[in-house]
Amino acid sequence: MKTNLLITTATILAAAGTASAQPAPTQITVGIYAPSVDFGTAQARLAYVQGLAKAIEQNTGIKTVAQSYASLGAMNKGGVDFAIIDGQCYAANMSPKLLASANIGGSTTRQWALFSGAGGDMQSLKGKKLSFINTGCNDAGFIDNAMLDSEVDASFFSSRTGRNDLAAAVADVASVKTSQAVFAPVSAGKGLTKVFDTGAVPNPAFVDLSGKVPAATVAKVQAAVVGFGGGGAINGWAAGDRGIYSALSFGRKTKAGILAQPEAVRIDARDVLIDPPTMKDTALVDVRHHFVRPPGARME
């Protein structure tokens, strides 16, 4: 038994030594898929991730290349090591290790709202067309439950049109006018009528997508990202907070009325045993005559 224990211990130590001695990769690939962030142009989006890749290369000493993708599926097939993933997509699948959260407008979340191009209230949009960002990450659950809080029937809008990014979805309502409503960050709704606020949505996440890079290199990549100022659509990065992504619920919400707990009523048994004070009062009857003697009668 002692011999077997020594062999097992030696095997574990050898495996740990191999893992720690795992060589760093000769190249790192960083991808971006964040359709809810308006970079203005595709060139500006690529330029941003290229700048981030350069910062990673300087901090790790490893050649780093950058790629921009039109869909999450294409990025997953692209052999990407690290990725900027849209907040909705990471909330739908939080299996990759979170390294950082994007800072936009001073926060890692943004307030979203439902906007109308024709003014009016929610009822005025019934039967109208809705435009949305087609992320491919449970868009129906995002709209019906995260945005509409499970309170609007799926058939409320006559149709739903998915667009590749935020700018195209907003343009459908603001300029092209092929749709009458759109869900978007509050900052993107200029010129449109805000019907109501829908809640906070987390910003894109920077994740270890492949899980194959040694831990020491991952730590250097994370430090480079958090320290990257960048500029433009993404102001910077903060330490990853899984809570903001798990708070975005895609499941149907069931609501029930609130029943108040009644206060307990306690009766003192002595209250029913004590005679009321009025029962002890003596009623005095005013009597003028105690005896009456009829005329001519005699008393015996």
33 closest CA partner among 111, 93, 113: 93
Six token digits for residue 205: 């996440």
Q: Of the given ranges (52-61, 115-124, 240-249), which has the lowest mean pLDDT?
A: 115-124
Domain with CATH 3.40.190.10 in the chain: 22-108+203-246, 109-201
Six token digits for residue 106: 């001073």
Sign of CA pseudo-dihedral 88, 91, 97, 103:
positive
pLDDT at site 16: 45
Q: Is 60 exceeded by the pLDDT of residue 235?
A: yes
Beta strands in the chain (DSSP E): 27-33, 63-68, 82-85, 97-103, 109-116, 129-133, 159-163, 181-185, 193-202, 205-208, 236-239
Q: Are 117 and 220 in contact (CB under 8 A)?
A: no
Q: Is 60 exceeded by the pLDDT of residue 12?
A: no
Q: Is 80 exceeded by the pLDDT of residue 292?
A: no
pTM of the complete model:
0.78
Sorting pLDDT into bands at 50, 70 and 90, what band is 257?
low
Q: Is domain 22-108+203-246 in CATH 3.20.20.370, yes or no?
A: no
Q: What is the mean pLDDT of the chain?
A: 87
- The predicted model gives 211-218 an average pLDDT of 96
Return the DSSP state at 231: B
Architecture of domain 109-201: 3-Layer(aba) Sandwich (3.40)
